[in-house]
Structure 1
Amino acid sequence: MSTATSAPTAEPLSSRSANAPARRQSHVHTLGVLLRQRIRRDRWQLLVWIVVIALLAMFSAASIQNTYGDPAGRAELVKLAIANPAILMLRGLPQGTGLASVTFFEIYTFLALLAGLMSTFLAVRHSRAEEESGRAELVASTPAARILPTVATLIHGVLANVVLAVLTGLAFAASGLPLDGSLTAGAAVGGAGIAFLAVGLLLAQLMMTSRGANGFAAGIVVLAYILRGIGDATGTVTGDGTHMISTWPSWLTPIGWGEQSAAYTANDWRPLLLDLGLAAVLMAVVFWLQSVRDSGAGLIPERAGRRDARAMLSGPVGLAWRLQWPTILGWVIGGLFTGLLAGALGSVVSSSIANDPSLASIRKAIGAIGPGGSGPLTQIFISAIFSIVGVIAATCATQVVIRMRQEEASGSAEILMSTPLSRVRWLLSFITVGVVAIVLVLLAAAVASGLSAVSAGEDGSVMNASFAAAAAQLPVSLVYLGVLSLVFTLLPSWTIGLSWTLLGLGAFVGIFGGLIGLSKEVHDLSPFSHTPVVVGTPDWTGGYWMFGIAIVAAVLAAVLVRRRDFAIG
């Protein structure tokens, strides 16, 4: 006997209209859940980023006040910067000799660079990385669908940058700078972060992997910093000779737009609207791409691999290197460019001070950020700038350890353990790659520094000084590699957050502690404060201690990794 089946009927328009408020309420509730999840997940990472940036802002005015307390000293600094385009590329656009304007000139571009990196990493972590792990597809099967997670990430990133802008502005004001200019400076930092947040979300749509998206996004942030530097370096001097107007390349980047606000002098908020405009345009593209592409797919396809693996992939060291060589290459290039600047700037600053006795007080300021000592000014300057190279090498080592944790969390390491490969060999393969990466970064910086200084007219001894300055950064980089490997063994789930925290605090206290007047006890807590002194009479005492600590930590990590289970997830 057959039964009649009726065709499904469409939902009446009146019923859909009546259900609209309920659907909107459901969407709002779902969005709130997603937003709270992101805030909870990022609470410690964002706290470190925001606090470090705000502290840099607060203490920068104190360091300028301590080093260039009088208008004459600040005039020397501005005069030196305007006379040397390389300094303008590193710092910013001079807008007078007042304490507030010089502080903005000295620190803003670096703060905007950090805000850009913070925002792009946040964007990729909650978008492309979620698709890689498969979590995004699970969330898409709920009422959240595909668009709401992106909306939640956008709101989360904007809120983080608003908090960053407010705290940065208050930090400037707390150091004694005018409140209106401080709020403008904070808004310039936060505005750059919002613009780069949209850049990160767009690249998460384009790239196939989170590693590729993060690398591409970081490259765009650095490119924006360089374009801004070119525009500043080629600018024109106006007024009394202590103000400059940048050229068009500065107007191509969010970092340059923040500079055009001229905090503490003009306090012009109009250029910051460009940050919001760029973010709005990019987000429109992001939402369109999110609605039309397949989950997990990217618009830029991955390059096809080889049919047969190279022989080096038959061992754990070769595999560890293959997993990380693009990241290592990026840090090597960073070390190379920093070395180029160190050598070129060292020669320029040395000749400038030699030809203008009124700039003699700059020598003291250079020594304040370096390891101290006495000797030729070019060598002192190179040694001081190589403290930044040390941070680059230590960051490269940190990412090697973090990659090791990511391999464990994803389950890839456990698969390798089903082969004859032991846990100790697996751990030591990453440590070996970390050592090689550190050496490559330092070598690239040393060669670039020496060659750029020699080409600028310095004698051959500066080549030895560059290699000595690079060697002085080896112990501190190895300390981070060894100690963070031990952290990975003892506290695997804390590895990523604790690694970035220890690196950030160590670099801040070690490099800027002398400038901001931290007590010796606090300053000595940073490994960077024990970097060997290689200018004048060499002192490797701190280096020997750090070598010992690094070796002991690595050995303990290798011994203890056999005694714990793999921590997946």
Structure 2
Amino acid sequence: MSTLATLLRQRLRRDRLQLALWIVGTALLAYTSVAAVADTYGDESERNQILQVATASRTILVFRGTPNGTDLGAFVFFELFAWLALMGGLMSTFLVTRHTRAEEEQSRAEFIAATPAGRVKPTVATLVHGVLANLVLGALVALAFIAGGLDAEGSWVTGAAMAATGIAFVAIGLFAAQLFRTSRGANGAGVAAVVGAYLLRGIGDAAGTPSDDLLHVTPAWPSWLSPIGWGQATGAYVENSLAPLALSLGVSAVLVAIVFALQAVRDQGASLLPGRNGRASASWALSGSFGLAWRLNVSTLIAWAVGAAVAGITASSLSGLIDELAGDAPQVVDTLQAALGGGATLEQAFIATFFGIIGVLAACCAVQVAIRARQEEAHGTAEQVLATPVPRTRWLLEYWFVGVIVIVVVLAAAWLAGLAGTAASDTPDDLVSLITQAALAQLPVSLVFLGVTLLVFAYLPRWTIVLAWVLLGVAAILGTFGPLLGAPDWMLDLSPFTHSPVPAGDDTDWSGGLWMIGIGLATAALAVVSMRRRELAAGG
């Protein structure tokens, strides 16, 4: 068996569970979504109304896609492709970092380079591995859409767009691994690239030119800076053009060529961007284990807080848009209000929707803090801290405290940004109260995911990263897409996001929030107590 085949087999074996969860989960979401959309919006007049709402309000396009007519296939593509491509992009960048920069960081790449594989073949194997994973993902998404009753040609174009977009992010991930010295830096850059591509596509759609009937939008130039925008430009189920995917493949080829050129000249473990020199002496904040835990998570906090602030100011800026929508398109207000909030007012529904997304961001930040504890253990650096008089229970408790702080800071950033955006409202006092309630409502769900992740870390340390992101991803999908997918109530109730207190009318039901606070505190306490007797589990 050739060296390249051996390396590829090793990667497939190592990632068999994680890739199965990513690929099969994304394909299942695609399949169930088609059935749900067909059931919920089976009537063309209903799809017409929704597209008019999205095109008239523009902001909704940031979180959906490019409207391209009322055909069922085109409507499904509008609703789902950007989200599916986001998941494929995250899968691709995580996969690449795991087999490149993380291997160098832990010195395993040096052992491989000492074999006949050298330094080049492991990167080639990672590239092939990422391309194959995205081809399988694209094929399964296409088959899921076909199984849902959509046109075969449009479905295969959608699958091709998924694969090409994912391959572009494989190349971006390989490039990020050359830039940064640590896997944290490479992963952070990869996530930023994926989220940035999603937002660029959204900005381009929101700033695009609508048709007179409000059923089509021609995206503005920012969409053409995004691999996700290139996938959308195929116009699946309408134009079915594969030409835009040449951009994804062309950019991927250029980035891969740059990657191999850089790898040929840099030292093992080095990076294009040098690591920052440390201070000659530590500051007083690093005099204890709590200060160290805080310092290790500051960069994570800043990134998520910025994202939350953007979402917060966007949410509060909608008030003037809502009034305009109610005046210019009264025929669709009832449809939008029912879709977003049931008994809530239209303004409450919009604010709750955006702050629900902020709740996901806060939960992601909390999960990353808990995962950082696992990474410190796996890399052996936690052992050095625990060799001092710091007991294990105190060490984990300090990570929980840091997690609570970052949750509060992320939500506070969104709240303050939301208050800054109330100037556009005719009733700023009412909006301030609404934004405050919506921000506080995201605290319980974030505490749940912080506590659950720490509990997984205490009992199943080697599964911490996988289970934490899977649980959060499934819960976020159910909370975001559950009503759209027509999921039964018992399934929606499995997601903590479903139980976040949502202002509706003059009341806010905090019963679910109080239960979640209790669950979050109980799971965290059990995790801390359980650390007393657990052996350290080094390694991946």
TM-score > 0.5 by shorter chain: yes
Question: For 1:506 and 1:234, how far apart are their aligned partners in 2?
Answer: 31
Question: For 2:337 and 2:53, how far apart are their aligned partners in 1?
Answer: 14
Name the counterpart of 1:197. 170
Matching of residue 565 in structure 1 with residue 535 in structure 2 = yes
Cα contact 1:346–1:379 (8 A) shared by 2: no
Structure 2 SS opposite 1:374: coil
Structure 2 counterpart of 1:183, one-letter code? W
Deviation at 1:308, TM superposition (A): 1.9
Matching of residue 552 in structure 1 with residue 522 in structure 2 = yes
Deviation at 1:446, TM superposition (A): 2.2
Structure 1 residue ranges, 4+ long, deviating more than 4 angstroms after superposition: 238-241
Deviation at 1:374, TM superposition (A): 2.5
Question: For 1:485 and 1:350, how far apart are their aligned partners in 2?
Answer: 44
Deviation at 1:418, TM superposition (A): 1.3
Relative distance call for 1:249 and 1:528 in structure 2 (3 A) is closer
Range 462-471 or range 344-353, more displaced: 344-353
Range 59-68 or range 351-360, more displaced: 59-68
Deviations 1:176-215 (A, max 9, x none): 2211111111211221110111011011112111111111
Cα contact 1:486–1:556 (8 A) shared by 2: yes
Range 134-143 or range 44-53, more displaced: 44-53
Matching of residue 265 in structure 1 with residue 235 in structure 2 = no
Structure 2 counterpart of 1:403, one-letter code? R
Matching of residue 50 in structure 1 with residue 23 in structure 2 = yes
Name the counterpart of 1:420. 389
Structure 1 SS opposite 2:526: helix
Cα contact 2:40–2:486 (8 A) shared by 1: no
Cα contact 1:454–1:462 (8 A) shared by 2: no
Deviations 1:223-249 (A, max 9, x none): 222322333233223475522222333
Structure 2 SS opposite 1:532: coil
Relative distance call for 1:246 and 1:511 in structure 2 (3 A) is closer
Relative distance call for 1:511 and 1:78 in structure 2 (3 A) is closer
Name the counterpart of 2:229. 256
Structure 2 SS opposite 1:270: coil
Relative distance call for 1:380 and 1:258 in structure 2 (3 A) is same
Match of 1:472 among 441, 444, 449: 441
Cα contact 2:36–2:485 (8 A) shared by 1: yes
Relative distance call for 1:118 and 1:457 in structure 2 (3 A) is farther
Match of 1:451 among 420, 439, 450: 420
Matching of residue 523 in structure 1 with residue 492 in structure 2 = yes
Percent same amino acid among aligned pairs? Answer: 52
Question: For 1:427 and 1:549, how far apart are their aligned partners in 2?
Answer: 18
Name the counterpart of 1:484. 453
Name the counterpart of 1:222. 195
Question: For 2:188 and 2:29, how far apart are their aligned partners in 1?
Answer: 25
Name the counterpart of 2:94. 121
Question: For 1:306 and 1:448, how far apart are their aligned partners in 2?
Answer: 34
Question: For 2:213 and 2:522, how far apart are their aligned partners in 1?
Answer: 58
Structure 2 counterpart of 1:310, one-letter code? S
Question: For 1:542 and 1:247, how far apart are their aligned partners in 2?
Answer: 42
Query: Counterparts of 1:77-476 in structure 2 under 5 Å?
Result: 77-238=50-211, 241-345=214-318, 347-367=320-340, 372=341, 374-476=343-445
Query: Counterparts of 1:28-47 in structure 2 under 5 Å?
Result: 29-47=2-20
Question: For 1:386 and 1:63, how far apart are their aligned partners in 2?
Answer: 24
Deviation at 1:347, TM superposition (A): 4.2
Question: For 2:100 and 2:493, how far apart are their aligned partners in 1?
Answer: 40
Range 262-271 or range 447-456, more displaced: 447-456
Question: For 1:417 and 1:523, how far apart are their aligned partners in 2?
Answer: 41
Root mean square deviation, CA, Å? 1.8
Structure with bigger gyration radius = 1
Deviations 1:504-531 (A, max 9, x none): 1122223322222222222222222222
Question: For 1:35 and 1:501, how far apart are their aligned partners in 2?
Answer: 25
Structure 1 SS opposite 2:239: coil
Deviation at 1:62, TM superposition (A): 3.5
Cα contact 2:337–2:349 (8 A) shared by 1: no
**Alignment: residue pair count:** 538
Deviations 1:104-147 (A, max 9, x none): 11221222222222211111111011100000000001111111
Deviations 1:244-278 (A, max 9, x none): 22233322221111111000001001111221111
Cα contact 2:313–2:421 (8 A) shared by 1: yes
